Structures are given as structure tokens and as C-alpha cells.
Amino acid sequence: MDSSSRSNGIVSVGGGSRLRLEIRSKRYGAAEALHDLVMTAAAGEVVALVGPSGCGKTTALGIIAGLDRAFEGTVSIGPRPDGEPARLGYVFQEPRLLPWRTVRQNLLLALPKSRRLGSAVDLMLEAMELSALADLFPTQLSLGMARRVALARAFVVEPDLLLMDEPFVSLDEPTAVKLRALLVRMLERRPATVLLVTHNLREALALADRLLILTPSPGRVVAEVPVGIPRGSRDDAAIEALRSDLLSRSDPAFRLLA
């Protein structure tokens, strides 16, 4: 069997899409959480999986990251341009920083030993406006600061595929806006394929090239929305106009997002 069609595992495929996901079924006991969730993301593309709570967004990310292999289907992740396996970054729903390590040490430990360079960490801290917090411990950080550190920790590995699970949830809107802008700047400096999971339609429209709308029971993609406007030109008014347009559609999938 061709390795790219191996079932129930993560395999590398040459060229084409950076990510190809075909989850035929994912069950928790008798309940089916995902059914026929099929999607691709091209290299450098930002795709948002948008849907209400419980539609299986986190479950899908866990499968792509290889944290959950108990599913029917295939995950294919293209290699790096140099032929090496793709580097994965993961921003969890909670910052998940090591509480007994400083900010700087949290970033350092995210790097494999062969690339564990203090200079790379210091550059990342500077780019993320975190240098002043480098020696603090996570308990000394606000949630906004901790989320910023979690973002820096994901970027310091120079990911090819970045999985983000509600990375800005529970933040006040001004802080979320700043962090989204920071993410956009980081992706301009260092492009990555991004799969962003969110239930926040505005956030998806601010960040993604393409939205995939999921419905629950079991989770599956029911609509695909390309966002035609370049990320840099999407101001609040443009995002609000896109959002109103989607919510006014007769398709019930969009009403779940209101």
C-alpha cells in the first residue's frame, strides 16, 4: 500500500497540500464525535474550523497532532521543503506553561536539544514584546501575558503546521485584538500552515483565508467560506460586513454561529 494512503495514522506526503485530513469516524464509546470530516490546507494557508461547543474541534486537532490515534481515517502532513518531517506547533485552549519554569525557560524547553539556543529564544521574546517578562514565572503573569507566552512558545520551534485551539478565548476584546494582530505579524515574518479552531466568527474572519463550518452530533463540515479580502486589509468594518453577510444566509449552518 502506498504510504500516503495508510489508514489511521500520520504519514508524510510529498508536495501538494501541507495537510490533508480524512476522518471517517471518531467515536467516544457509543457516541460518534466526528463523521466524514475531510479537509485540506495548502502550505501557508490559514484555515479556521468554526463551530459551536461540542462539535469536535478539539478532537480533530488532537487527531492531527497525533495525540489521539483511535479513529478511522488518515492524516497526511507534507514534509518541509528540505525533505525533513514537518515541525508542529500547538497552542492549547489553556496556556499550559510549566509553572516551575520562567518564561524564558518555558520557551527554551519547547526546542529540541539539538536546536536549544538561548539566542533564538531571546529573539522570539523580543519579537513578541516579552523581553521584560523573561524571568517571571507563569503564576506572575496575567492571562493575556500567559497566552502571549504560549504563542511565543509555539513560534519558537518555527512550526510548519501550527494548530491553535481557541488561542484567545477568555480574554477581554482589546487584549484579544492585540494578540490577533501579533499573530498576523508573526505569520508575515514566518509563514506557517495554520489550523485555527474557534467558535468566534469574528476571530475566524479576522485571521483565516478560509473558514470551514462544523455542525455537531456528529461533527462534520457543512459549509466552506473563502475570505476574499487579504488579511492586512481586513479592518473592523470589513470583518463586520463579512459576518453580517454570513449570518443573513438562509443556510441553517450559519445560524449556529450567531
Residues that bind ligand ATP (CB under 6 A): 28, 33, 51, 53-59, 199
Q: Report in angstroms how near the CB of residue 52 gets to ligand ATP at its nearest.
A: 7
> What is the full DSSP assignment across 142-182?
-HHHHHHHHHHHHHHT--SEEEEESTTTTS-HHHHHHHHHH
65 or 111: whose CB is closer to ligand ATP? 65
Q: How far apart are CA 212 and CA 91, in angstroms?
A: 19
Q: Report in angstroms how near the CB of residue 91 gets to ligand ATP at its nearest.
A: 14
56 or 138: whose CB is closer to ligand ATP? 56
Rg of the chain over Cα atoms, rounded to whole angstroms, equals 18
33 or 186: whose CB is closer to ligand ATP? 33
Q: Report in angstroms how near the CB of residue 110 gets to ligand ATP at its nearest.
A: 23
Spatial strand order of the sheet with 10-11 comes to: 10-11, 72-77, 19-28, 31-41
Quote the crossing angle between the two packed helices 118-127 and 143-156, to the nearest 10°.
130
Q: Report in angstroms how near the CB of residue 107 gets to ligand ATP at its nearest.
A: 26
Q: Report in angstroms how near the CB of residue 116 gets to ligand ATP at its nearest.
A: 32
Query: Which residues is 27 bridged to in the sheet?
Result: 32
33 or 111: whose CB is closer to ligand ATP? 33
29 or 232: whose CB is closer to ligand ATP? 29
- Is residue 140 within 8 Å of residue 87, measured between CB atoms? no
